[in-house]
Amino acid sequence: MLRSLRLITLRRLFRRAGKEAQPDGNRNQSGPEKPFGPAWDHREVPSTLARSPFLLAARGEPGPHTPVWFMRQAGRSLPEYRAVREGTTMLESCMRPDLVVEITLQPVRRYGVDAAIFYSDIVTPLKATGFGVEIKPGVGPVVADPIRDLAGVDAVRPVTPADVPYITESVQELVTRLGETPLIGFAGAPFTVASYLVEGGPSKDHAKTKALMHSDPKLWHALADRLADVAIAYLTVQVEAGASAIQLFDSWAGGLSPRDYERFVQPHSAKVFEALSAYDVPKIHFGVNTGELLGLMSAAGADVVGADWRVPLDEAVRRIGGKPVQGNLDPALLHAGWEVLEAEIDRILVEGQAAPGHIFNLGHGVPPDADPEVLNRIVKHVQTKSARAAA
Ligand SMILES: Cc1c2[nH]c(c1CCC(=O)O)Cc1[nH]c(c(CCC(=O)O)c1C)Cc1[nH]c(c(CCC(=O)O)c1C)Cc1[nH]c(c(C)c1CCC(=O)O)C2
């Protein structure tokens, strides 16, 4: 019954988008020059979570349309977020399942994105073990005692499920509420989290962190190895509670040379991916300004690699070895007007066809001043423009 209802809904969606099967079953009329991959067999309706557009693309399989979600889709750009967050600090809000569930669902409700991302932060698991970290509004994570020695490393420890009952509870509730929309769990990668812990807060050049790597490699590797364990523990809690995919954010790795990345960072991120391979969930890896690192980040063990706007998406696909790709609209263009945006989106959709699966996203997070109406229009455009003809 449910299955046939979904079939009808999907057929209606196809029709609304003006998509009819072509003789070769391989093309919709309104798309750009190149076809959007192989025809999608409508008899294989994604009636389960496993066949949702996001999970199909992440596994490199064809689906009904190119899935779309946004990094930082939950957050200050949404008035409903600002309303529920009033009077609560960021890290407090992460410990309240009622708020976590509501905030995670807000962009799904508003935009109909193809995936939800768990509302939390990369420093939540540190805070949960009593580590001295706060999130300063408009600034980011700030650490009371920056790490300088092995005693500092010992203050960092992975969470156990008993430390974070609110994470398990929030994920379980979300998975129930989201139904066929996948929930992405996430963690900060060892380098990006280490940068906050060594610098004491946000940094543009990561100078202290880089100096530490080279001057005291033993201490660096001890810290990065511990942070790999932190990420593994945090991701494991989310996956055990029902998250369908994970994303490891190495947002600031783009500040490193490939040589330093390979020596000081890749083994630790690889440890995280290796541990998570025990679960049947796609693993996404993302960083900003990582054009020169895409191959190495892919080789760390990701199933899907995210790219920012600095590398054309088809070139990114080549660099990551032909894996599924995520990206890569420049968030700055959210303010450039619809005509510009539409052309960019269409170009990205075409370039994304170089990959066995493409997940549409921004090249970095939604800025706080983004217009939700613009994001809504992007979602609808990606989903209709990329809709594949039924076979
Ligand atoms: C580097 C990093 C952090 N946190 C995160 C990263 C990696 C992703 C990236 O590169 O953006 C990850 C993160 N942080 C947040 C999410 C939630 C889900 C989502 O993407 O919608 C995710 C996935 C919520 C958040 N994390 C934060 C906010 C804003 C806090 C608020 O609303 O008060 C949100 C919604 C705080 C935070 N936390 C951090 C920063 C830089 C900031 C912004 C500080 C500011 O500008 O105020 C550290």
- Beta-bridge mates of residue 115: none
Using the atom order of ligand 1, give the atom closest to the CA of residue 81: 32
| Cβ atoms of residues 249 and 192 within 8 Å | yes
pLDDT in tens, 122-175: 999 999 999 999 999 999 999 999 999 999 999 999 999 999 999 999 999 999
Q: Which residue of the set 27, 81, 111, 121 is catalytic?
A: 121
Binding site for substrate: what residues are annotated? 72-76, 121, 196, 251, 364
Q: What is the pTM of this model?
A: 0.90
Per-residue confidence (pLDDT) for residue 362, from 0 to 100: 98
Using the atom order of ligand 1, give the atom closest to the CA of residue 202: 41
Query: Cα-atom radius of gyration of the chain, to the nearest Å?
Result: 21
Q: Residue 38: which pLDDT band, with cuts at 50, 70 and 90?
A: low
Q: Which residue of the set 166, 196, 234, 261 is catalytic?
A: 196
* Closest CA to ligand 1's atom 41: 140
Give residue 71 CA to ligand 1 midpoint distance, Å: 9
pLDDT of 39 > 80? The answer is no
The CATH code that applies to domain 2-385 is 3.20.20.210
CA distances from 297 to 60, 191, 319, 353 (A): 18, 12, 10, 21
pLDDT in tens, 267-309: 999 999 999 999 999 999 999 999 999 999 999 999 999 999 9
Percentages of the chain per state (helix, strand, coil), in multiples of 5: 50, 10, 40
Encoding tokens for residue 386? 């990329």
| Cβ atoms of residues 348 and 360 within 8 Å | yes
Per-residue confidence (pLDDT) for residue 389, from 0 to 100: 72
Q: Residue 37: which pLDDT band, with cuts at 50, 70 and 90?
A: low
Q: What is the mean pLDDT of residues 190-218?
A: 98
| Cβ atoms of residues 325 and 358 within 8 Å | yes
Verify whether ligand 1 is closer than 6 Å to residue 159 (CB atom): no
Give residue 339 CA to ligand 1 midpoint distance, Å: 29
Give residue 288 CA to ligand 1 midpoint distance, Å: 14
Encoding tokens for residue 315? 């070139």
> Of 207, 280, 275, 283, which Cα lies nearest the Cα of 249?
283
